Chain A
């Protein structure tokens, strides 16, 4: 019997803005070739024509569930070129925003994982709970999704009044909800049956393919920039890195699930130890000549931002190395798996097409 060729996406309920060329023999996937680039917007080139401050809202668009990490990487690179020191209060608020973003991104991931496995309740609950975090973000930054809050030189506004109480209340509620998620979905025997042993990425392969983030940590590698090369003030906070050694979709899912819990405790810790002082320093419009590289741990993995400056107010070259693009080789895991496992493997990598295409 000759194999069946078909493409999943870019208009498919299980693909996002990505196309996968699938070669199917019976129910076994012989070959799955990802075809990214449908949402390529040329962000890096456009950035060269705009001023440093103007670029912030634009580059945030590459990963809307997780905007804080993107703008943080960008801001850190510019600050390195300017040679300025960010006040500790701004550092802590940046961390709070990044961890809020991480929770929101993982909630987004969890709900899509739910609907990919046919669990409609799991689709609705995290999306509903993501909204209360969006409310917090709106209170802090004034925007619901794309904040433009972390800018070169610090943050744009100080924290509003009573935000601590609201955040703690939300986190109390959220940590109770995490148990319910676990009860209805992640401990469900069908979920375990569908993810355990599916898309196994061994430790060696994970390192060789260069995957990052929860995908890497699910394969037993303790790779986290927050711990390895601490930036901002992560070295002053309790930070626990969940590592699972199985390397299958279940391990990757559990890494993300545990990270939501850990991010909540980081936010609590950061709010308790929030230093007083300024929230921004004055920056110059023109950035001195040179090049800088910053690395942050975004929700999907390591995000690196490289900036080359020629001494003007516009970047000469901006290069973002995004986690989704680095996890793209993980699609090779689909080879030899069943068609029913395709969405599981796809989404266990937490691939975000605009993040990879930029």
Chain B
């Protein structure tokens, strides 16, 4: 404490007012818990490491499925530094902006995508204390952020001023709008049981039962809708490369493309983390190991299941995709709400 007091004394003795205030502010920020959370754990640093290694994990995992080797050279252990090497490479590449593109929107979309994708992670609790902002309505907050993504993808497609991105943007809009509704509804069961919109309370409410046991249909609907939201195979219709090249991100290159990839994998991590928090009991687990370990392990397993689907399923057709969304998943999610009410009334009422 003495050192802190000494430093504050030194800073207070500075005669220039502006400099004094600035340095005091910086010192305060550096000492605060929030700063540590945002920058290191569970903030940006952890997210970047996890997400880049998620890319490595996907490539290695898929390679094993496909009888290949996968990344091999960057880093000692099986090319573990390959994603970082790729990002460095993308940083040095020229970011080509098409001549007829709307340059302002074209450039702002990748940045906004990364910012929004990482913002959603601020409310995810890695353990009871390791959550950046413990909002009362964190579930609502994540959905508010998720609702912006279709607009951004459409904006990317439109600002590219090219035909494939345009088609991809329209497809993305269709897909994300139609899958948002079942996604919302499938979480309502959890909200009913936990009587809270806060992730920390939801996880705490699962101390006796994980909600995947009580609401299997809701969990299934959630994960399927989330894969559609992530635009991953089998629902990667907006970026179907044999039809519309790369969909809404066709014209992006260099670090702009790198940022989009980063945002997509951040969303993958976020989706797995959200599934863990809502249905798999978050950080809960045997107390031999730390809560953060349990949370990250569960998240990785969910992410691996989503990744595995990429290896075993072809892409569905656009019309089928909308049919699945509106005719199946919506009904499943509505049944799941009724189911949750029943569970609440009869099963939990007895206990």
Interface residues of B (CB under 8 A from A): 62, 65-68, 163-164, 167, 233-234, 236-237, 240-246, 310-320
Contact = CB atoms under 8 A, between A and B. Distances in A.
B255 to A, nearest CB: 22
B62 A120 contact: yes
A338 B241 contact: no
Contacts of A122: 314
A120 B66 contact: yes
Given A121-B65, A190-B234, A193-B320, A114 B314 contact: yes
B68 A124 contact: yes
Contact of A193 (B237, B245, B312, B317): B317
Nearest to B174: A27
Contacts of B62: 120-121
A137 interface: no
Interface residues on A, range: 20 to 34
A6 interface: yes
Contacts of B317: 193-194, 338, 340-341
Nearest to B313: A190
A338 B67 contact: no
B318 to A, nearest CB: 5
B65 to A, nearest CB: 6
Contacts of B65: 121
Contacts, number: 87
A115 B233 CA distance: 12
A121 B237 CA distance: 18
A24 to B, nearest CB: 8
Which 3 A-B residue pairings sit nearest by Cβ, starting from the closest? A118-B315, A14-B242, A124-B66
Contacts of B167: 4, 24, 339
Contact of B163 (A6, A114, A191, A340): A6
B66 A125 contact: yes
15 contacts: A4-B167, A6-B163, A14-B245, A118-B240, A118-B242, A120-B66, A121-B66, A122-B314, A124-B66, A124-B68, A128-B66, A191-B314, A193-B320, A338-B318, A339-B167
B164 to A, nearest CB: 7
A6 B244 CA distance: 10
A236 to B, nearest CB: 37
Contact of A14 (B236, B243, B310): B243
Nearest to A195: B314
B243 A340 contact: yes
B2 to A, nearest CB: 61
Contact of A118 (B234, B245, B246): B234
B314 A343 contact: no
Interface string A180-217: 00001100101101100000000000000000000000
A13 interface: yes
Nearest to B311: A121
